[in-house]
Amino acid sequence: MSETKPLEGRIALVTGASKGIGAATARSLAQAGVHVVLTARNVKALEAVEDEIHAAGGTSTIAPMDLAEPDAIPRLAAAIASRWHKLDIMVINAAYLPTLGPVSQIEGDLFGKALTTNVLATQALLAGFDPLLKRSDHGRIIGLTSSVATDTRPYWGAYASTKAAMEVLLDCHAQEVERISELRVAILDPGATRTEMRARAYPGEDPQTVKPPEVVADRIVQLLAEDFPNRHRERVVNPA
């Protein structure tokens, strides 16, 4: 391990790695010496992120997949197990934002998609990669959440409820593993960040008034390099 590559030799999985916070996190982890497995549905976007990582001297593997497919996560876990036999870092970033609106008018199909992506896939990731994370001497999980999970507001009920459920799953898992393994779990609220999801939620906002995803990515790498206690929680604030 070196000062310039504090996480050298580790293997990480980043979901939703084709754009935004996921892509920035993948690039930052690779720069820190991590071999990053990038997952998302958009193959071309994943290839573009991988090209950037390789051009900067890092290493990565793309694994195009839809988290909603029933056997996608088990197949990915089996592939990673056969190649590396462990997983050191899992960043659960992929999320789906349904249309904002009153609870009484939530669209069932969009709500179902949010539940599948934000909740069911989280549980499947925890189940599928638990053995591999426990094989690592420093298995770490970081789940990306939203402030609306705990600070509720009108018209955000569909998304907020899925993020609240995601947080519960992560926190329960953290408590279940803390006495039987070295695995640790953190929940990170990225705060206002310049992403496509943010632009859809706040169409009138000037994107330059919120921080770029690289700020969140750098904080994730810093957290992993310095390490964190189990059940760590924090919100990433705008840099001074």
Spatial neighbors of 134 by CB under 8 A, at least 6 apart, are 177, 181, 182, 183
Instruction: Render pLDDT for 78-125 as a digit per residue (tens, 0 to 9).
Output: 999 999 999 999 999 999 999 999 999 999 999 999 999 999 999 999
148: nearest Cα among 107, 202, 184:
202
Catalytic center residues: 159
- This prediction's pTM: 0.97
Instruction: Render pLDDT for 200-222 as a digit per residue (tens, 0 to 9).
Output: 999 999 999 999 999 999 999 99
**DSSP string over 33-83:** T-EEEEE-S-HHHHHHHHHHHHHTT-EEEE----TTSTTHHHHHHHHHHHH
Rounded to whole angstroms, what are the CA distances from 134 to 13, 29, 46, 86, 128? 14, 20, 27, 8, 12
**What is the domain class of 11-235 according to CATH?**
alpha beta
217: nearest Cα among 190, 185, 177:
190
Query: Can you give the pLDDT of all 240 residues of the chain as single tens digits?
Result: 566 899 999 999 999 999 999 999 999 999 999 999 999 999 999 999 999 999 999 999 999 999 999 899 999 999 999 999 999 999 999 999 999 999 999 999 999 999 999 999 999 999 999 999 999 999 999 999 999 999 999 999 999 999 999 999 999 999 999 999 999 999 999 999 999 999 999 999 999 999 999 999 999 999 999 999 999 999 998 776
List the domain boundaries for the chain.
Answer: 11-235
